[in-house]
Amino acid sequence: MTATKDEFFNPAKLSARDKAAATDHTARSIIAAEASAREKKTEKLRLLRLEREATEPAPARAKGRKA
């Protein structure tokens, strides 16, 4: 089977609006995925911090100087 240029290149040209829509859709999906991952990480770290604080005793405050 021989390779032709039609297999590698799209013969129909996309309009500028279609290109912009595809770029916008891709960018928004990437941003949404990053936001979701960040929220999951934040929640995981928050739970670990609360667990650690529950097991550790509260640190004693140092006495301050009176003026």
The number of angstroms, rounded, from the C-alpha of 34 to the middle of its chain's C-alpha atoms is: 1
Amino acid at 65: R
- CA pair distance 38, 44, nearest whole angstrom: 10
- pLDDT one-digit tens code per residue, 53-62: 999 877 777 7
**Global confidence as pTM:** 0.59
d(CA 10, CA 6): 7
Counting every residue written for the chain, the total comes to 67
Burial track 8-22 (b if 16+ CB lie within 10 A, e otherwise): eeeeeeeeeeeeeee
pLDDT in tens, 12-46: 788 999 999 999 999 999 999 999 999 999 999 99
